[in-house]
Amino acid sequence: MHTLTFLTIGQAPRPDLSAAVEAHLPTATRVRHAGVLDGLTRAEAEVRFGPVDGGATLLSRLADGGSVTLDAGAVGAALRSRVDQVEEEGADVVVLLCTGEFPSLRTRRARLVEPDALVTGYVATVLRGSRVGVVVPLPEQVPEAREKWRAIDPAPLFAAASPYADDDRALCDAAFGHLEAGATALMLDCMGYGARHRRALRAAGVTVPVLTPAAVVGAALEPLLS
């Protein structure tokens, strides 16, 4: 029996992020959850991981359902120790529930699944030649996203809409802005986007392919654990 640990940059568990991945897992898989912000109050999280001027940012969620903006550098440093911890606790596979780039993450024994690498590789191959409209959670993440997706040709389009908003109007506006600019596929570039967001876009009349990271990660994991 394999043990798989979902590791979020916020507080665990995050079934809204992991459910689409878990749907692809063999029934015998033992699933665990861990988070960088586990055990912290919002005030403590903001002191230790709050954004800094000029630094890259990430968006996640606390156990109370509220969203929180985090400094990517501080999160990356904490993730390294959390990866070590969950591996020591018996994880065979560690799945990061974030599409941010963390190039320094390593494991000693367990397989480390990073959505960032899977998603960019998938788009580069399966959607080769397509004009992709990328949606990220925060406007300040657009410059980082341009760097992340720099190898995609033709160059993607970028817009921002939080997956944790009370409604989907901003997401639909971003999607239709991309379509009007010539996008032939959409990439919702955050693990916070899921099936609900795809359904909202379909209901609004979006007919082009809409990719979410969890679906890509789930499909990639299935052969590893079977």
Mean pLDDT of 202-225: 91
Which CATH architecture does the domain made up of 3-114+215-225 adopt?
3-Layer(aba) Sandwich (3.40)
Q: Does 196 have pLDDT greater than 80?
A: yes
Q: Please tell me the predicted confidence (pLDDT) of residue 134.
A: 98
Instruction: Report the alpha-carbon distance of residue 97 to residue 194 in Å, rounded.
Output: 12
Q: Is the peptide bond before 26 cis (omega within 30 degrees of 0)?
A: no
pLDDT at 70 over 90: yes
Domain 3-114+215-225 matches domain 117-212 at the CATH topology level: yes
Angle at 155 between CA 176 and CA 195, to 5 degrees: 45
The two three-digit tokens of residue 209, written as one number: 């392919």
Find the mean pLDDT for residues 148-172: 96
Answer for the pair 112, 96: CB distance below 8 angstroms, yes or no.
yes
Q: In this predicted structure, what is the pLDDT of residue 222?
A: 77
pLDDT, tens only, 91-139? 999 999 999 999 899 999 999 999 999 999 999 999 999 999 999 999 9
Q: What letter represents residue 190's amino acid?
A: C
The domain 117-212 is placed in CATH, from the list 3.40.50.2300, 3.40.50.720, 3.50.50.60, 2.120.10.30, at: 3.40.50.2300
Residue 181: pLDDT band by 50, 70, 90 thresholds? very high
How large is the angle between the packed helices 213-225 and 115-126, nearest 10 degrees?
Answer: 100
User: Do residues 195 and 20 touch, judged by C-beta distance below 8 A?
Assistant: yes
Q: Is 137 within 8 Å of 158 (Cβ atoms)?
A: no
Phi/psi for 36 (5° steps) reads -65, -35
Which amino acid makes up residue 114?
E
Do 96 and 37 contact (CB within 8 A), yes or no?
A: no
Domain residue extents for the chain? 3-114+215-225, 117-212
Rg (CA), the chain: 17
Residue 174 CB-half CA count within 13 A: 28
Tokens 């591996």 map to which residue? 87
Q: Which pTM value belongs to this model?
A: 0.88
Residue 26 is encoded by which pair of tokens?
Answer: 């063999």
The pLDDT of residue 23: 86
CB 29 within 8 A of CB 95: no
Q: Show the beta-strand stretches assigned E in the chain.
A: 3-8, 30-35, 57-61, 67-71, 93-96, 111-113, 132-136, 157-160, 185-188, 210-211
- d(CA 202, CA 8) in angstroms, rounded, equals 28
Which pLDDT score is estimated for 14? 93
- Token digits for 24? 């692809």
